[in-house]
Each structure stands twice: as structure tokens, then as C-alpha cells.
Structure 1
Amino acid sequence: MFVAGCDVGSLSAKAVIMKDENIIASHVIFARPEPAESARTVMEGALNKACLTMEDISYCVGTGYGRNSISFAQAAESEIACHGKGAQWLKPQVRMVIDIGGQDAKAIRIDETGRVLRYAYNDRCASGTGRFLEVMAGSMGIELNDMGEVSSQAKNPVSLSNQCVVFAETEIISLINAGRDLSDIVGGLHKALSHRVASLARSIELESEITMTGGVAKNQGMFKSLQEALGVKLVCMDTDPQIIGAVGAALMARQAAAENG
């Protein structure tokens, strides 16, 4: 039996196909203008990798901010529940998940089954999101995917006084014009974002086993900075952290398919 999870976010879309206990295909794309188009395109990519068609999928669960636009999904679940389920399935010892998405950041406490116990999220200000890093990368003329490597060279990370994206962008341009090293600026950005996210996590009490999910988790500079801000060693995912929400959705699809016979 094949099942699928489709996670449509504001910056990217992810799809995962599972058979039994195995992930047999996954696909990630940049988000299209319309969530429905993102869903179709990313699922086609995953199906092609698995040499399957949509008719082969017994059940599909959608998640992410565009979950209600996924026409081929039989059900929709919150990304909070899906990240919790996916993270615990991949790393059973995990009891807290920090997900930095394109439009929000979430801290999620879970039990030994991946069930959500408590959560907190910030969706009112872009300064705690992946969108913040994307805008700042554009201001500095570097690729978003290169920020981790650039920050690894930082010797004296800058201290940013502005949390607001608009004012922070102006501040960064001023720092560049003043001749500050790009690595120190990126290091300062990671530090500022990490402290904001760490405060969010502390608002629901930290756990000892914490992991980071979402595309930002692939940024090693941000990963290291968040560890320092939290004061704990994060559990590193062996699977692409960007697809964890889709994995959780696929697990929920598997459960629903079994219950429905």
C-alpha cells in the first residue's frame, strides 16, 4: 500500500511517498504562485521518482498553509501535528520540535508517540522566519543556501539593533557600506534569529531532546547558532529536515488508510 503526504508552504512545497515503513520517494520545489499548482507539481515530481501514478496512492494527507488547496488529498492536518509526528517517527527520543518556516516559527512539545502536548508560534512578524533570512540574503547579494557557509567564517558577528525586517534590511545595508565583513553580518543575523526562536521555545519550557525541522535547519550556521541560544545540543535529522512535515502527513495517511480498510 502506497500513501503520501503533501506539505505546501509559503516558500516551498514538499511531497513524500511511503510504502509500509519506508520512504520510497520525496520531492521539494520552490512554491508556485498558487498553492494548488505547487501541490500538483511537487506530487508529480515524487510520483515520477517512485514510478507511480496518483491512482496508486491509497491515501494522501495535505498539510502546510496551502493544505486546503490540495485537491487530491483525502484529508488535511495542521503542520504542527505533522512536524511532531514526523520528527518523533524519525528520531524517537525527540520531545521538542522547532520548525522555522517561510512565514512563521513554531516550537512544539510532543510525547513519545509524537502527539502534540504544547506549542507556541510566531506568525505576526517576519523577523523570526525563513522569509527574514531570504530578504536579508537578497540585500547582501548572496544565495540563501550559501548563508551557512558564509557565516562559518565569522570572527566578530555584528549585533543587530532592529528586529523588524524593513529596519533590519536598512541596518544591514548600512553595515555593508561601512565595510563590515559579510560573514560577520550573516553571523549576526543568525544570532538575532536564534535568540528570537529560543525565546519562543522557552515560553513552553525546553525539553532535553530537541530537533530542528524545515528548510532553515539545513543552514548549518543557523543550526549551530540555535544550539548556542538554547544551550543544548540539537538532535540532527538523518533525513532532509525540509520534508519532515510531509513525512508526518504520510504517516497520518497510513494510519487513516489502515482505519478505513
Structure 2
Amino acid sequence: MLTLGIDIGSTTSKCILLENGERIIGTELLVAGIGTIGAEKIMETVLKKAQLSRDDIDYVMATGYGRRNFDPAHGELSELSCHAKGVLFTNPQVRTIIDIGGQDAKVLRINDKGVLENFMMNDKCAAGTGRFLDVMANILQMPINELEKRAELSEIPAKISSTCTVFAESEVISQLATGETVENVIAGICNSVASRVAGLAKRVGIKEEVFMSGGVAQNGGVRKALEKELKVPIKWSETSQMMGALGAAISAYEQEKKRGVLNE
């Protein structure tokens, strides 16, 4: 059985092709936002690489911001459920998931079956999200993937006290103008994101092991700052950004299997 999970996020679309609910046979990622054009494109790309057509796919499950507008999907599911399934599939010992995406941050506490016990979400402000880091990288005129390297060179992280992205932008510009080093400012930015997300995590209640999913998981500066704030080690992987799509593909398999039983 072939199923496909597609996570249409606020800034990036991710896609995973799964065989029999276990083996990943194709992945694709595209910075495209919530419009379905990007999602359609990565779906076609992953199928082409696997030498398959849409007719070969038994079930397509969509998740993420754009899930309700993706016509090729047979079903849609919340990103909370999909991230829980994806992370538990790859890391069965995880009980707390910190997912920092483009426009929101979520903290999930799950049991050994992947069932949500508690969660908190920050989706009212860009502070503490990938968008915040994008804005700051733009101010500093450097690629987003440079932030981690430069943060490691910091001696004394700057204090970014503003909780609003707009005010934090002004604060960063002011600090640079008064002679603060770029490295200290970047470390301060990472600490600011970590502080916001740690506040959510503490309200949810941390249970180890802790895993970080979403695109910001790739930023070591934020990960290390979060570990310091929460006083626990945080696991992640090179595929952290794909966890929602993986969970959607697994859910698609479960749904198709259930449908097959009902039709027998």
C-alpha cells in the first residue's frame, strides 16, 4: 500500500511517500508558503522520482496551514496529531515535542501511544517562531543558516527584551548602532526565541525525552538556548522538518487500512 503525507506549512511545503506504513520511499521539501501550487509541485516531484503516478497512491493525507485547500488530498488532519505520529514513529521514547514553525510554536506532551496529554500553541505573534528569525536574519543581511555559526562565537549574548517582533527589530538595530557585536546580538536573538517557547513548554509540563521538530530545529543556537532554559537535553534530526508530513503519511495508511476492512 502506498500513502502520501503532505504538510503545507506557512512558509514551506513538505511531502513524504510511504510504503505499507513503514518504509519511506520518497521525500520532498519546497519553500512555497500555504498556496497549493507549491504543494502540487512537490507532490508531482516526489511521484516522478519514485516513477509513480497519482493513481498509484492509495491515500493522500494533508496537514498544516493549507490542508483544507489541497484538492488532491483524500483527507486532512491537524498538525498536532501528525507531528505526534511522525516523531513517535522515529523516536518511540519521546514524550514532549517542541515544534517551531514559520508562523507558530507548539509544545505537545504525549503518552507512549502518541495520544496528546496536553499542548500549548503560540500563534498570535511572530516572536518565538521561524518568521522572527527570518526577520532578524534580514536585518543582519545574512542567510538564515549563518545564525547558528555566528551565535557560537558570542561572548556575552545581548539582551533582546522586546516580546514583539517589530519592537525587537528596533532593539536589534539600536544595539548594533551602539557597538554591540553581531555575534552577541545573534545569540541574544536565539535566547529570545528560546525564552518564549520555554514559557509554553513549562506550562505544558516537560516530560523526557524531548524532541524538537519543525524547521527551526535545524538552528543549533535556538536548540542550545532551549536546553539551557528547560534544563533537559533536546533531541532532533536532519529530518525534523518532515515530521508533520511523515505523521500525515502514517495516518493515511491507517485510514486506508481501516477503509479496506470496512469494505470487506
Contact 1:77/1:249 (<8 A) preserved:
yes
Question: Which residue in the other structure is 1:56 paired with?
Answer: 56
1:143-222 alignment, distance < 5 Å: 143-222=143-222
Q: Secondary structure at the match of 2:58?
A: strand
Question: 2:207 & 2:36 partners in 1: Cα distance?
Answer: 36
Amino acid at match of 1:117: E
Q: Which shows bigger deviation, 127-136 or 178-187?
A: 178-187
Q: Secondary structure at the match of 1:244?
A: helix
The unaligned stretches of length 5 or more in structure 1 are: none
Question: Which residue in the other structure is 2:250 paired with?
Answer: 251
1:80-106 C-alpha deviation (Å, 9 max, x unpaired): 110011001100000110100111100
1:1-261 alignment, distance < 5 Å: 1-20=1-20, 21-32=22-33, 35-237=35-237, 239-261=238-260
Residue 38 of structure 1, CA deviation: 2.0
Residue 19 of structure 1, CA deviation: 0.6
Relative to the length of structure 2, the TM-score reads 0.95
Residue 45 of structure 1, CA deviation: 2.2
Q: Secondary structure at the match of 2:234?
A: coil
Q: CA RMSD in A?
A: 1.1
Question: 1:226 & 1:48 partners in 2: Cα distance?
Answer: 39
Question: 2:202 & 2:77 partners in 1: Cα distance?
Answer: 25
Q: Secondary structure at the match of 1:127?
A: coil
Question: 1:88 & 1:176 partners in 2: Cα distance?
Answer: 42
Residue 16 of structure 1, CA deviation: 0.4
Q: Secondary structure at the match of 1:260?
A: helix
The unaligned stretches of length 5 or more in structure 2 are: none
1:235-255 C-alpha deviation (Å, 9 max, x unpaired): 233x51100000000000010
Contact 2:217/2:236 (<8 A) preserved:
no
Question: 1:54 & 1:145 partners in 2: Cα distance?
Answer: 34
Residue 204 of structure 1, CA deviation: 1.3
Residue 55 of structure 1, CA deviation: 1.4
Contact 1:86/1:114 (<8 A) preserved:
no
When residues 49 and 220 of structure 1 are mapped into structure 2, their CA distance, relative to the original with a 3 A threshold, is farther
Relative to the length of structure 1, the TM-score reads 0.96
Question: 2:172 & 2:47 partners in 1: Cα distance?
Answer: 42
Contact 1:105/1:121 (<8 A) preserved:
yes
Q: Secondary structure at the match of 1:126?
A: coil
Contact 1:89/1:114 (<8 A) preserved:
no
Residue 195 of structure 1, CA deviation: 1.0
Question: 1:48 & 1:187 partners in 2: Cα distance?
Answer: 42
Question: 1:223 & 1:52 partners in 2: Cα distance?
Answer: 38
Question: 1:146 & 1:9 partners in 2: Cα distance?
Answer: 23
Question: 2:86 & 2:236 partners in 1: Cα distance?
Answer: 14
Q: How many residues align?
A: 259
Task: Calculate percent identity across the aligned residue pairs.
Answer: 38
